[in-house]
Amino acid sequence: MKNKRAPASGGVRTVALAILAALLVVVSGAVQAAAGAAVSFNYKDALSKSIMFLEAQRSGKLPPNNRIKWRGDSGMEDGKLAHVDLTGGYYDAGDNVKYGLPLAFTVTTLAWTALAFKPELQAAGELNNVHAAIRWGTDYFLKCAAKKNHMYVQVGDPNLDHQCWVRPENMNTPRTLYEIDDKTPGTEIAAETAAALAASSLVFRDTDKGYSRRLLNKAKLLYQFGRSHMKTYDGECPFYCSYSGYNDELLWAATWLYMATKRQAYADFISHEAISSSVAEFSWDLKYPGAQVLLADLNMTANGGLQSFKTQADNFVCAVLPDTPFHQVFITPGGMIHLRDGANTQYVTGTAFLFVVYSDILLRSGQQVMCGSQPIPPARLKEFAKQQIDYLLGANPRGRSYVVGFGVNPPTQPHHRGASTPVLKPGTVVNCGMSFGDWFAPDRPNPNELTGAIMGGPDGNDEFVDKRNASSCTEPCTYINSLSIGPLAALAVRGNDLVASQ
C-alpha cells in the first residue's frame, strides 16, 4: 500500500535542505559539465513509446487498433453497481483503480501538450495518437459527469484492489463507485475535470466541432458546481489526498475556461477573486505554476495582474534552477529534481514541460525570467529541461534508462499488475491470496513489456532499485508520462537547442 504523495510540508523546503542543495549544486554542475552539451538520444523513439504507455493503461473495451498485444478488454462492468456505464478511462498506475483527480490532470496536461506542441507532434506523426489518448479520457469524463451537480470520481475500492495482484482483464475485486454531489462536493475534482474538458475542447475545436462544444458545456457546468459548493472531497484519501486545497484548481480551471470562451466572467474571477501563490512544484496536486505560465502568456489584465502572474511564473523557475539565489528545490548529485520519493519523476517531466512552454512564450515576447535582479535567458530554461529529460533517458550517474523498453539497461520489473502477470484466459478466476506469491514476489523480469513507462525513479541519491516491490522506484503513473510528451516531441523535432522554428 502506498500513498501517491507523502504528506507534504508544502512547496517550501527547510533552510537545512536549501543549504544542502546549495552544496550539491557544485557537484551537479560538475556532472553536467562532464556529461557535456552533446548528449543526445533517440527522442522520437522515446516520444512514441511514452504515448504507448498511456495506451497500456486503458480501461474498457479496447479498439481494434490497440497496439498493446498483452492488453484486453477490462472493467467492462464499471458503473453497473449504479446501473450506469462508466467503462473506459485509465488505470492510474500499477493498480487497477480509476482515480478521478490525477486522471483529470493527466488529460489537462495532454490537451495542453496537443495545443503547445502541435507542429512537433504532427511532424513526428504522433498528433493523432495524442488526440486519441485525450479522447479516451474525455469520453469517460462525459459518462462520469452525465448528470448536473454530480460526478462519479472513482471506480474501484483501492484497499481491496491493493490486496490482489491481478491484471485488470481478470480482476474480481469490488468496482466500488465514488461520487460527488451537492451534499458531498469536491471542488478540486470538479475544477480539474473542468480544466481537462475546457482544454480538450480547444484541441478538438477544428476537427470535431460538436464534440468540442459538448466538452466545453460540461466544463462550464463542472466549474460552476465546483465554485458554488466549495469543499474538498477527501474520498480519494489516503491515496490521492489534496494537500494543496482547491484554490489552484479553481485558478487553473478558470484560466482554461477563459482561453476556451474568452468570457469576461472568467477573467474577472482570475483578476479579482482567485487566489494565486508562488510555489516550487507542478504536479497532480498543485497547478499554480501551470496557470501562471498560461496567464503570463495571455497578458490579459492591463492593470498589473499580468505582472503578478509573470512574476509568479518567474518565481517557479527561480525556485527550481540551481543557479539562482532563490532556488529551493533539491537537485540530486546527478542533477535530477527530487521533491519526494514515489512518482518523483512527475516533478522532473512536469518541470521540463513548463520550462519548454514558458521559454517559448518568453522568446516570442522578447522577455526573460527575472530572479530578483538576475535575468535568466529562455535558453537556460531549455537547457535545464533537456537535462531533466536526458537524465531519465540515460544521462545519469548509473548510465541507465528509467523508461521501460528504451535505451541502455531499461527497468525490467515495473510495479504494475498487468505487466507482471501472464496473459490469462478471459474468465480465469484468480486467487488473490496466491497472486502475490505467484506474480508479485518472484525476482524476475515482468513477462509483458510496459513499453514507454517512465518509472517513479531514483531516490535523492540517484539510487534506483529495479524490483517490483520497490514501488517508489518502479511504479509508473499516467501523469508522469503525459508531462513528458511535449518535451520529448520538442527534442525530437526541434533538436537539442529546443528552439522552435519560425
Annotated catalytic residues are 415
Other Cβ atoms less than 10 A from the Cβ of 445: the count is 15
Residue closer to ligand NAG (CB basis): 120 or 360: 360
Q: What residue ranges in 299-425 does DSSP mark as E strands?
A: 369-371, 374-376
Specify burial of residue 440 (Cβ count, 10 A radius: 0-12, 13-18, 19+). middle
User: Is 120:302 a contact under the CB 8 Å cutoff?
Assistant: no
Q: Which residue is nearest to ligand NAG (CB)?
A: 443
Residue closer to ligand NAG (CB basis): 295 or 336: 295
Rounded to a whole number of angstroms, the minimum distance from the CB of residue 440 to ligand NAG is 9
Rounded to a whole number of angstroms, the minimum distance from the CB of residue 415 to ligand NAG is 11
Residue closer to ligand NAG (CB basis): 346 or 472: 472
Give the C-alpha distances (Å, rounded to integers) separating 99 from 84, 95, 177, 218, 443: 17, 10, 10, 19, 29
Residue closer to ligand NAG (CB basis): 232 or 299: 299
Cα gap 253→272, rounded to integer Å:
15
Rounded to a whole number of angstroms, the minimum distance from the CB of residue 474 to ligand NAG is 11
Rounded to a whole number of angstroms, the minimum distance from the CB of residue 434 to ligand NAG is 17
Residue closer to ligand NAG (CB basis): 39 or 306: 306
Cα gap 68→451, rounded to integer Å:
9
Backbone conformation region of residue 310, classed left if phi is above 0, alpha if psi is from -120 to 50, else beta: alpha
Residue closer to ligand NAG (CB basis): 214 or 467: 467
Rounded to a whole number of angstroms, the minimum distance from the CB of residue 365 to ligand NAG is 7
> String of b and e for 385-406 (b: at least 16 CB within 10 Å)?
bbbbbbbbbbbbbeebbbbbbb
Rounded to a whole number of angstroms, the minimum distance from the CB of residue 299 to ligand NAG is 4
Rounded to a whole number of angstroms, the minimum distance from the CB of residue 311 to ligand NAG is 12
- Point out which residues bind ligand NAG (CB under 6 A): 299, 302, 306, 443, 467, 469
In this structure, the strands spanning 98-99 and 177-181 are unpaired
Give the C-alpha distances (Å, rounded to integers) separating 187 from 190, 193, 256, 297: 5, 10, 16, 26
Cα gap 402→474, rounded to integer Å:
9
* Stretch (H or E) spanning 155: strand 150-155
Give the C-alpha distances (Å, rounded to integers) separating 394 from 18, 60, 81, 486: 27, 34, 46, 18
Residue closer to ligand NAG (CB basis): 152 or 258: 258
Rounded to a whole number of angstroms, the minimum distance from the CB of residue 259 to ligand NAG is 15
> Cβ contacts of residue 436 below 8 Å, gap of 6+?
165
* Residue 209, SS3 per DSSP: helix
Other Cβ atoms less than 10 A from the Cβ of 201: the count is 28
Specify burial of residue 183 (Cβ count, 10 A radius: 0-12, 13-18, 19+). exposed
Across-strand partners of 376? Answer: 369
Residue closer to ligand NAG (CB basis): 13 or 467: 467
3-class secondary structure per residue, 268-287: HHHHHHCCCCCCCCCCCCCC
Which residue carries 502572474 as its cell? Answer: 309
Cα gap 113→485, rounded to integer Å:
7
Residue closer to ligand NAG (CB basis): 9 or 469: 469
Rounded to a whole number of angstroms, the minimum distance from the CB of residue 163 to ligand NAG is 16
